[in-house]
Amino acid sequence: MSAISTPIIIHGASGRMGSRTAHLAQRDDAFNVVALVSHARSPALEPSARAIAQGAIPLRTPHDLGSLPQEPAVIVDFSSPEGVVAACELARRFSAALLVGTTGLDEPARAAIDTLARTSAVLVAPNTSLGVAAVARAVRDLARALGPAFDAGIIEVHHTKKKDAPSGTAIRLASALAEGGRTLPPSAIAALRVGDVVGEHTVRFVGPDETIEVIHRAGSRDLFARGALRAAAWLASRPPGRYTMSDVLAIDG
Ligand SMILES: NC(=O)c1ccc[n+]([C@@H]2O[C@H](COP(=O)([O-])OP(=O)(O)OC[C@H]3O[C@@H](n4cnc5c(N)ncnc54)[C@H](OP(=O)(O)O)[C@@H]3O)[C@@H](O)[C@H]2O)c1
C-alpha cells in the first residue's frame, strides 16, 4: 500500500459491479480498502456464502463498521436505490465523499444525495466509462451540427438481470442530445434485455437519404469499475458539492 493511498469503502460489494470494483481496488496501491459493505439481508452474508467467498477483507453491514483500520475518504456505491440511501448515510457518518454508480434512482435516493451534497463531495455517474463520457459529448455536438433535418433515437441492450429500463446511460445520452437541441420522446428510446450483454448503446441519427450511428459497446464490467475508481480517487479530495464524470475527465466544452 502506498503512503498516499485513498481509504475507500465499496458499498454493494457482493454484486456484479461491486465485487469487480473491490477486486481491482484491492490490487491497486492507490487505494486502501477499509471495508466491503452490503445490507443486513444480503444472502452473501449467510455463513455458507461467507465460507465460499474469497479474499482477505470480509463483507460487513453498515452496523458492523465500528473498528475500521482507517476512516474512509470516499465510498463507491453499486447497489440499489434503497442502497444509495444507506450509502449516503455512511458517507455522512464518516464525512466521506460518495460516488454513486447505481442507476434507476428513485425520489428517496435523489433526496438523500441532494442532502449529502451540502456536506460532502458527491458524484452520480450512471456510466463510469471514459468512452461513454466522450460519446455523450460527440452526440451533443452531432445533434447541434445536424439540426432538425435529422431525427434521432437511442437503442440500448443489457443482460436480463438489469433492473432499470431505459438504462441510466441511455438517459444520460438523451440529455446530451437535449443539450444539442434534440429532445427525444420516450418512444425514441428502446431497451432490449437479452443474454449476458454487459452494455451496448447506439445513438442513431436518421436524415433524408442518410443515417449516422454512434455505438458504444462495453467489453467487460472492469471498464466501469476502473472508471469508478479513477473518479473516486479524484472525488476524495474535493470540497462538498455535486460533480459529474465530465468534471473528473475535464472534457466539458
Ligand atoms: N455506473 C456504471 O457505470 C454502472 C455499470 C454497471 C452497472 N451499474 C449499476 O450498478 C447497480 C448495481 O449493478 P450490479 O449489476 O452490480 O447489480 P447486482 O449484481 O444486483 O449487485 C447489487 C449489489 O447491491 C447489494 N444491495 C442491494 N440492496 C442493498 C442495500 N439496500 N444496501 C446495500 N447493498 C445492497 C446487493 O446485495 P445482495 O445481492 O446480496 O442482496 C448486491 O450485492 C445497478 O443500478 C446497475 O444499473 C452502473
Please say if the pLDDT value at position 56 is more than 80.
Answer: no
Over range 208-229, report the average pLDDT: 96
- Out of 9, 19, 24, 42, mutate this one to test ligand 1's pocket (max ligand atoms within 8 Å of CB): namely 42
Confidence of residue 4 (pLDDT cuts 50, 70, 90): confident
pLDDT tops 90 at residue 3: no
Q: Give the residue-averaged pLDDT of 55-65.
A: 87
The residue whose CB lies within 8 Å of the most ligand 1 atoms, and thus the one to mutate among 80, 90, 167, 200, is 80
Question: To the nearest whole percent, how much of the chain has pLDDT over 90?
Answer: 86
Burial 179-205 (b: 16+ CB within 10 A, else e): ebebebeeebbeeeeeeebbbbbbbbb
Residue having the nearest C-alpha atom to atom 20 of ligand 1: 15
The answer to whether the CB of 228 falls within 8 A of the CB of 108 is no
Least confident of 23-32, 76-85, 125-134: 125-134
pTM: 0.92
pLDDT at position 57: 86
From the number of C-beta atoms within 10 Å of its C-beta (0-12, 13-18, 19+), residue 149 rates as exposed
pLDDT of residue 1: 52
130 has pLDDT over 80: yes
User: By alpha-carbon position, which residue is closest to atom 2 of ligand 1?
Assistant: 127
Q: For residue 147, what are the contacts with CB-CB under 8 A and spacing of at least 6?
A: 181
Extract the C-alpha cell encoding 108.
428517496
List residues near ligand 1 (CB under 6 A).
Answer: 11-12, 14-18, 38-39, 42-44, 78-80, 82-83, 86, 101-104, 125-128, 162, 164, 224
Each residue of 17-35: pLDDT tens digit? 999 999 999 999 999 999 9
Contact predicate 34/232, CB 8 Å: no
Residue 137 pLDDT greater than 60, yes or no: yes
